[in-house]
Amino acid sequence: LPASFQRKVLKPIHLSNGTVLPAGVTIEIPAYGTSRDPTTFPNPEEFDGLRFYRMREANESFNSSSASTVEAAAHNQFVSVSQNSLPFGYGRHACPGRFFAANEIKMIIARSLLTWDVRNVNGAKERYPNLDLGVNCVPDPRRELEFKEI
Ligand code: HEM
């Protein structure tokens, strides 16, 4: 997501760096940028399937008492929301459907991996470019994939 949630400014907001957000404008949250901030996520452009698993492990060993271990494990999950994880929003209106979405996505991927071999047409290795539609960044539905039942 290039951006996640939007808000309309009702009263002028003065930020500590001197920036003023005037009443009436719509602001949006740069979730894409925060998700790729190398000070939070080293090598952000590199796919690392265990990135968040390792971050949770590091949190757990840092907080050793059992109550804080539970809390540490709750951070850096797919559904976690924080100032560094904004794709599902943050605060009072954070997405309530994210737990359902996470389970659906896992079931679809697991079912697909169990049922088919999947590849790009003619086995091409490069990822198809995403489509940017407004604030959304989505797979291009015009592209084709090849499925073989296993
Ligand atoms: C990967 C999938 C999804 C993403 C990335 C996503 C993302 C978001 C974001 C960014 C917001 C705005 C939060 C805010 O304004 O602070 C939101 C709100 C919301 N989402 Fe989702 N969502 C997803 C799936 C779902 C699903 C599956 C449902 C319902 C079954 C759902 C229901 C809602 C509802 C009802 C709100 C409004 C919450 C409110 O305004 O209090 N979402 N979502």
Q: Is the pLDDT of residue 24 over 70?
A: yes
How much is the pLDDT for 133?
86
Q: Which has more pLDDT, 122 or 117?
A: 117
How much is the pLDDT for 137?
83
Q: Is 101 in the pocket of ligand 1 (CB under 6 A)?
A: yes
Q: How confident is the model at residue 63 (pLDDT cuts 50, 70, 90)?
A: low
Q: Is 96 in the pocket of ligand 1 (CB under 6 A)?
A: yes
State the alpha helices, DSSP H only, in 1-150.
31-35, 51-62, 66-74, 98-115
What helix, strand, coil percent values describe the chain, rounded to 5? 35, 20, 50
Tokens of 87: 């794709």
CA dihedral 43, 86, 57, 45 (to 10 degrees): -10
How much is the pLDDT for 81?
92
| Ligand 1 atom nearest 1 alpha carbon | 5
Q: What is the mean pLDDT of the segment spanning 21-34? A: 92
Tokens of 32: 């894409």
Q: Is the pLDDT of residue 61 over 80?
A: no
